[in-house]
Structure 1
Amino acid sequence: MSADDRQSELAREHKERQAQRAAEQSAKSRRNTFIGAGLAVVVVAGGIYAATTLVNRDSSSPVAAESSPSPSPSASASVLGELEPSATPTKTGPVSCTYKRDTSDVPMKYVGMPGAKPNMRLKTMTIATNHGNIVIDVDPAVTPCSVNSMAFLAKKNFYNNTKCHRLVTPEVSGLFLLQCGDPKAKADGKNPTDGQGTAGYVFRDEAVGAVPYTRGVVFLTQPQDAAGQNSSQFAISLSDENAQIEPQFSVLGMVRSGLEIIEKVAKDGVIVNDDDITGDGGSTAPKNPIIIKQVTLR
């Protein structure tokens, strides 16, 4: 079988799996929409597509943020992975990041705003959890303002003792990922504002579409139809099937080690929040809580 034939066969099998999954979800007579300041996944007859939605957020007055100029290196040559990028930064020159206050009416924990000049020497982000460490390779040459924001919040102990509020599993949504970074999340499957919390500031998108959101990719999350509203929340992809997600999220890095920690927790199941599934708020949390003890960048 030629490489082209094999590729066509894989594509056909992928479409068949999507159709089967959609049929199964339809039989359950429910619309699987996951809402929050992160990923909202909708299972439809033609397959699975992704969007972001923020419950009770006024989308008519989006908060803008920017950084200028953007860096020039290609993501394919960085620690973000060896995948061929579909979109890379194009401008050159010194990087200056701009962060703006989030004026929306959502839960937030404000500890100040990062400085304009990012540390371009940072290489790793370690998330210490109650289950062990998750180590992520980052590259400020590709996403300087995203890495700068994470480093600032980490130094401020912003993430200490916060709970990862959403665990999306294939059985529930067709995708597989963990979402964290809401400072006010209770992760109990009941709190209607889980997934809405921010750090009280926002900033522009970076490296959107640089790599597919396959297993190990870490990306920032923001509201539906939004741009430049990244804040403290992020998601960790646990499956290559997530490559279907439409490119719209800033890529933060690639997991070097620790995915097995999340996968083990996923085996314990999730608290299925009906409000989350129908798109009214809250989140589907892991039954076995994942608590972030500390985040460090070096």
Structure 2
Amino acid sequence: MSGKDRQKQLAREHYERQTQRRLEREAKSKRNAIIGTSVAAVVVVGGVIAATTLLGGSDTTATATSEPAPSPSSSVSEAAGPAPTAFDPAAGTCGYAAAPDGAVKNVGLPPAKVDKSPKKMTIETNLGDIVIEVSAEKTPCTVNSFAHLAQKKYFNGSKCHRLGSDQFPMLQCGDPLAKADGKNPTDGQGGPGYRFVNENLEGAKYTRGVAAMANSGPDTNGSQFFLVYGDTQLPADYTPFGTVTKGLEILDKVNKAGFIPPGDGGTGAPKETVEIKDVTMSSKS
């Protein structure tokens, strides 16, 4: 074999290895993404197929505790732009990175410097206040992002677009362009134009009162989050950033009203509209 032929062979083998690794990442990401933020309208159909599979369809590994997949995931590849970095205790900073799909409501990047003092987040809605005791110590990058978005009035006027059932008890919010009417195929695709790392995943449980981040794969957090009003069996893939201390009765009321089908994996837009009027972050009193 000539030197040139050998180079071609090595290049081909390198390409094949890269392709195999990419496919494995995508397959793993699709298996793990249960609560997701859609990244492109073209992949919505894939999310419905994934939901059907996880609910029992043709997947013989599905069990009674399987949760529905609300949207497909997108693997974070080398072509997706710079990766976010975790909290640096020495510098007291978080590394936020621009998202390749851009912002639906551009408010810039959060400040890198983080304040880890105890805080509470108040979500003022048309149905009353939902108060969350957030953990800035365990999820500094997440809480810092919420403080930034709240200060920029990012959530004001937005609607929570996705409600689960008693088998999947969660309300998902945080897409500023969501219409939450059961008719808009782009609900759940909006983000702030940046992403940040997963945090606090070790031993994570998603029981009644937990507030956690939605994502479309590892370290793709943006602005979408979900509030749990029952107990779920989700895998530890979604950053739990706090606990609801006031307003769980609001979630129960919304749950009782039901949702508008069709939706991904047995979910849909809530019949009882939940509009976020304002979000504030304050010191824990």
Query: Smaller-chain TM-score range?
Result: 0.7 to 0.9
Describe the superposition over 1:161-197 as per-residue Cα deviations: whole angstroms up to 9, x where unpaired.
1000001112xxx210000001111101111111111
Instruction: Say if 1:58 and 1:144 are closer, same or farther in 2 by CA, change over 3 A.
Output: closer
Match of 1:238 in 2: 229
Match of 2:95 in 1: 98
Aligned partner of residue 148 in structure 2, secondary structure: helix
- In 2, distance between residues paired with 1:59 and 1:265? 34
Q: Per residue, is there more helix in 1 or in 2?
A: 2
Match of 2:130, as an amino acid? I
- In 2, distance between residues paired with 1:228 and 1:272? 30
Among 178, 200, 203, the alignment partner of 2:193 is: 200
- 8 Å CA contact 2:118–2:137 kept in 1: the answer is no
* 2:208 paired with 1:215: yes
- In 1, distance between residues paired with 2:235 and 2:97? 26
- 8 Å CA contact 1:67–1:95 kept in 2: the answer is no
Match of 2:65 in 1: 48
Match of 2:179 in 1: 186
Percent identity, aligned pairs only, is 41
Among 42, 46, 68, the alignment partner of 2:87 is: 68
How far did 1:52 drift? 6.0
For structure 1, list consecutive stretches of 5 or more residues without a partner in the other structure: 1-32, 70-91
- 8 Å CA contact 1:52–1:221 kept in 2: the answer is no
Displaced runs of 4 or more, over 2 A: 33-36, 38-45, 47-64, 92-95
Match of 2:245 in 1: 256
Instruction: Say if 1:62 and 1:245 are closer, same or farther in 2 by CA, change over 3 A.
Output: farther
How far did 1:247 drift? 0.5
- In 2, distance between residues paired with 1:35 and 1:139? 21
Q: How many residues end up aligned between the 2 structures?
A: 231
Aligned partner of residue 244 in structure 2, secondary structure: strand
Instruction: Say if 1:248 and 1:36 are closer, same or farther in 2 by CA, change over 3 A.
Output: closer
Aligned partner of residue 103 in structure 1, secondary structure: strand
Larger Cα-atom Rg: 2
Match of 2:37 in 1: 37
- 8 Å CA contact 1:36–1:194 kept in 2: the answer is no
- In 2, distance between residues paired with 1:113 and 1:147? 14
Among 151, 156, 168, the alignment partner of 1:155 is: 151
* 2:275 paired with 1:291: yes
Match of 2:276, as an amino acid? I
The range that moved more, 160-169 or 114-123, is 114-123
Match of 2:194, as an amino acid? Y
- In 1, distance between residues paired with 2:259 and 2:223? 23
Aligned partner of residue 97 in structure 1, secondary structure: strand
Aligned partner of residue 66 in structure 2, secondary structure: strand
How far did 1:47 drift? 2.6
Aligned partner of residue 252 in structure 2, secondary structure: helix
- 8 Å CA contact 2:67–2:168 kept in 1: the answer is no
- 8 Å CA contact 1:36–1:196 kept in 2: the answer is no
Match of 1:129 in 2: 125
* 2:249 paired with 1:267: no
Match of 2:109 in 1: 113
How far did 1:35 drift? 7.0
- 8 Å CA contact 2:110–2:144 kept in 1: the answer is yes
- In 2, distance between residues paired with 1:267 and 1:56? 29
Instruction: Say if 1:250 and 1:34 are closer, same or farther in 2 by CA, change over 3 A.
Output: closer
